[in-house]
Amino acid sequence: MPEPPSLIGASPLRKEGRAKVLGAARYIDDIELPGMWHGATVRSTIARGRIRSITFSDEIDWSEYAIVRPSDIPGENVIVHLIKDHPCLADGFVNHPEEPILLIAHPSKAALLRAKAAIRIEYDPLPGVFTIEESEAAVESGDAERIMWEPNEAAGSATFGSANCFRQYQLYSGEAKETEAGLAKAFEEAAFIVEGEYSTGAQEQLYIENNGVIAECFRDEHGNIESLCVQGSMQCPYYLVHALTVVFNLPEDKCRVIQVETGGAFGGKEDFPSVIGSHAALLAMKCGHPVKIVYDRAEDMAGTTKRHPSRTRHRTALSKDGMLLGAEIEVALDGGAYTTLSPTVLSRATLHAPGPYRWPFLRVRSKAMATNIPPHGAFRGFGAPQALFGIERHMDRVAKVVGLTPEELRRRNFLRTGDVTVTGQKLHEAFDMNAMLTRVLKEHGYHEKLARFAEENKTSPIKRGVGFAAFLHGAGFTGSGERRLNSEVVLRVDKATAGQPARVCVLVSSTEFGQGTNTILSQVAAHTLGIAYDDVYLAKIDTAVVPNSGPTVASRTAMIVGKLVERASLKLLETLRTYSALPETCDRDTFFAATERYFAEHETLRTSVRYEPQAPVFWDDQLYRGEAYPGFAWAIYVAEVAVDMNTYQATCTRFDALQEVGRVLHPVLAKGQIEGGVAQGIGYAIYERCEWKEGRMMNNQMTNYIMPTSADLPEIHVHFEEVPSVHGPGGAKGIGELPMDGPGPAILNAIENATGVSFHSIPLLPEDIFERFTSLGHLHGGSEDIDATVDRDTEVEAPEVTV
């Protein structure tokens, strides 16, 4: 019997593509329910202070409106993420601009807007802090309590704690005392010691569809809340279930959440739907009608989470021949006003800070600080882009000091197969960063361009340069996170009916929001079962129907959930072989004939599996050691830039992205993921700046938040290495977050190559380049030598080179 063509490595049409192209896909704002009202949020206008009074204008008939105050909340006045420090509604005190204070609803949108404008809130303002450095200064001056939010009985007793710090980590390359001793010796014996500080700004997710939900509240004959149903645009429906159980003091089975078609997310719809979903449900409880809340663009940008701003400090010891001897790295994130997901973002930043390099001795200290800015949260990359920007800019800096090319320095220090990472994880699966570097530099024409641009830049007002970044990205939850999640996947065979042939249904809570979940998981099931791609579909994401297969985050869907789908498919085949005489080798017709025989004696045919590691995984959360991730993707990105020395605008003119991501399941989708991530990374590097004033985002419109359009993007050349991994279906590894990590440092490395001037912060805008050249006293070109004099022949006293 001939084997069916493989679906792994093929590119079938997207499952939801036809509906989207034809306009048949229904997003949350397309949905109307009978008797539905519209909801809105009344927000704070100051960064920090006490609420003195709330006044409702006499010109409005408030009896027509539903109004929710903190006292109306039936459970806890808390939006639960990792801990309970985030008020659902501010109760007497606000800690950031745009903090929700009241909720109102009305059948008419126009009347709702008039009413919202007729509510006046007066405050007793208090001073706030708005940067990492200001938060640290408050601690050092003993004034840290001034940015702690005031606990109340409803919200629990959580505070920022000492030092206004949400979380701290320490990562050592071995036992702490031995590492400290090794570091002391490394710095004592180093031929070179290089220091640098690098920073990244906030970034808006800017998904096409804004946040939106519709909530319903159902009561029993006694008027008690019986159940809730919230549907909306989101990534993680079970996160919202958990939030509702706390706000309403209800069991999980009474809190139903449904994901509808979602127009982009990038992490911005991971944690925030817990806020807007809880708000809509409270209004539905109050008015007795379904309530829809859909933010406009300005509210969505000003009031929701962003990528965490960061500061990374490096101090590195090297031998005379450029071998890394040891390093001290400090990572700090701006967490905003409440914890949200900052500890997990910080964790990934900590673990990625060392980059893809061998470190005999290393210490990473990290912290997430509190500020009076709306809370920062999840964003594609989840801390890794911030930390990897630091290490990859620093490696170019180190190369310059040591007198090696950026290429040679990295080649001497790359991790290799069989090495042990800083956390003590042995790299069993094959990878070859040196071979990848050789390939991508050749694909790009890197060496030829280095020589050509150096000559052309002597006379041209357009300075051109090339740079690259090497990095890794862990796929799946950190350490024992996947084991704790205990994710479940169910496969069900639907009987044939008069109008529909038999099909296989995949039941997961993994959501589709443009990245290809429906397609990839269908491919995996169909391939494993030996049936056609069109024989498989995914169940609608409804927590009353689908099991909890974990959140759609952390580059885990294809690798972790896909592996569960593969295992469930194999289990289904085994069931049919046991009970329906399915042969070992079968085709589509044989498979469905076996299901018919099974249904002749059984009502249902379904299998379920839960997460099991595909290789031993041990992680110590206290020591921060062990297998940090089930698997790593490896990548090297090369950027080519042009800097116009008349306008000081830097433009990326070509980009090459090479990554080893295990087996590529769907080449078209995989290429699209890389292209999209690179585009976001280019925006992060040289276009997108959040402008803050007293904690408020001032450029919260698409007219003044400048992101790159297709006209601003270069040719993006995507290349893959394929080394199948045991952890994913068909050998696949995670891919979604990886392309955010490399563009920032690659582009700034290229800009330094073009101009001779080093920059250490992103986003890097024309005014930043102009200001730097002005400070150096040479506009319109020129070059900058190293910031401190370095005696490269010194072996006894290592020079300190400070950025």
The predicted-structure confidence for 596-612, as pLDDT tens digits, reads as follows: 999 999 999 999 999 99
Q: Which residues of 501-521 are buried (b: 16+ CB within 10 A; e: fewer)?
A: ebbbbbbbbbbbbbbbbbbbb
pLDDT at 797: 39
Can you spell out the DSSP letters for 200-251?
E-------SSPPEEEEEEEE-TTS-EEEEEEEES-S-HHHHHHHHHHHHT--
Look at residue 795 in the predicted model and tell me its pLDDT.
Answer: 33
- Residue given tokens 């991790």 in the structure block: 415
Q: What is the pLDDT of residues 36-45, one digit of tens each?
A: 999 999 999 9
Question: What pLDDT is stored for residue 801 in this prediction?
Answer: 52
Using the predicted structure, report yes or no on whether residue 364 has a pLDDT greater than 60: yes
Q: Mapped to the 3 state alphabet, what secondary structure does 355-399 carry?
A: CCECCCCEEEEEEEECCCCCCCCCCCCCCHHHHHHHHHHHHHHHH
d(CA 358, CA 565): 35
Q: Is the pLDDT of residue 548 over 80?
A: yes
CA dihedral 581, 586, 592, 598 (to 10 degrees): 10
Q: Do 345 and 333 contact (CB within 8 A), yes or no?
A: yes
User: Quick one: pLDDT band at residue 777, thresholds 50, 70, 90?
Assistant: confident
Res. 636: pLDDT tops 90: yes
Amino acid of residue 235: Q
Is 11 strand, coil or helix?
coil
What pLDDT score does 525 carry?
98
Element of type H or E holding 341: none
Q: Residue 396 in contact with residue 404, Cβ under 8 Å?
A: no
- Decide: 46 and 261 in contact? Cβ < 8 Å: no
pLDDT at residue 163, rounded to an integer = 61
By the 10 Å C-beta count (0-12 exposed, 13-18 middle, 19+ buried), 492 is classed as middle
Q: Return all residues near 535 (Cβ < 8 A) that are at least 6 apart.
A: 501, 502, 503, 504, 526, 529, 588, 592
Asked whether residue 586 carries a pLDDT value surpassing 60, the answer given is yes
In the numeric block, the tokens 């990326």 are attached to 652
- 669 burial via Cβ count (<10 Å: 0-12, 13-18, 19+): buried
Residue 349 has pLDDT above 70, yes or no: yes
Residue 205, phi then psi, degrees to nearest 5: -65, -40
pLDDT of 34 strictly over 80: yes
Q: H/E/C letters for each residue in 253-279?
A: HHEEEEECECCCCCCCCCCCHHHHHHH
> What is this structure's pTM?
0.94
* Three-state SS letters, 290-335: CEEEECCHHHHHHHCCCCCCEEEEEEEEECCCCCEEEEEEEEEEEC
Rounded to whole angstroms, the Cα distance separating 620 from 478 reads 11
Residue 306, phi then psi, degrees to nearest 5: -130, 175
What is the arithmetic mean of pLDDT over 182-193?
98
**Average pLDDT for 553-570:** 96
Stated as kind and residue range, the H or E segment containing 38 is strand 37-43
Query: Residues 309-321: pLDDT tens digits?
Result: 999 999 999 999 9
- Which residues neighbour 165 within 8 Å (Cβ) at sequence distance 6 or greater? 367, 368, 369, 370
For residue 701, what are the contacts with CB-CB under 8 A and spacing of at least 6?
297, 298, 301
**Interatomic CA distance for residues 346 and 11, integer angstroms:** 36
In the chain, the domains with their CATH numbers are 17-24+487-610 (3.30.365.10), 34-126+207-265+269-303 (3.90.1170.50), 132-165 (no CATH), 170-203+306-478+626-776 (3.30.365.10)
**Is the confidence at residue 800, as pLDDT, over 90?**
no
Q: What is the pLDDT of residues 716-739, one digit of tens each?
A: 999 999 999 999 999 999 999 999
Residue 615: band (very low, low, confident or very high) from pLDDT cuts 50, 70, 90:
confident
CA distance linking residue 782 with residue 772, whole number of Å: 12
Determine the 3-state secondary structure of 342 from DSSP.
Answer: helix
With a pLDDT cut of 90, the percent of the chain lying above it is: 89
Site of tokens 């459970």: 75
Computed over every residue of the chain, the mean pLDDT equals 93
Burial class (CB in 10 A: 0-12, 13-18, 19+), 643: buried
Contact assessment for residue 609 and residue 515, using Cβ atoms and an 8 Å cutoff: no
Is pLDDT at 76 greater than 70 in this prediction?
yes
pLDDT digits (tens, 9 = 90+) for 661-720: 999 999 999 999 999 999 999 999 999 999 999 999 999 999 999 999 999 999 999 999
636 with 356: CB under 8 angstroms? no
787: pLDDT strictly greater than 50: no
Give the pLDDT confidence of 735-753 residue by residue, as tens digits. Answer: 999 999 999 999 999 999 9
649, burial (CB in 10 Å: exposed 0-12, middle 13-18, buried 19+): middle
Give the pLDDT confidence score for residue 164 in this predicted structure: 87
Question: Rounded mean pLDDT of 253-260?
Answer: 98
Whether residue 802 has pLDDT greater than 90: no
Q: In this model, does residue 786 exceed pLDDT 60?
A: no
Residue 34 corresponds to which tokens in the numbers above? 């009978």
In sequence order, the β-bridge partners of residue 636 are 470, 658
Question: Residue 779's pLDDT is what?
Answer: 59
| Predicted pLDDT at 622 | 86
Least confident of 136-150, 418-432, 481-495: 136-150
If you search the block for the tokens 């800017």, which residue do you land on? 206
Neighbours of 459 (CB within 10 A): 7
pLDDT of residue 768: 97
**8 A C-beta contact, residue 248 and residue 217:** no
Examine the pLDDT at 126 and tell me if it is beyond 60: yes
Q: What pLDDT score does 616 carry?
A: 79
Is the pLDDT reported for residue 784 higher than 50? no
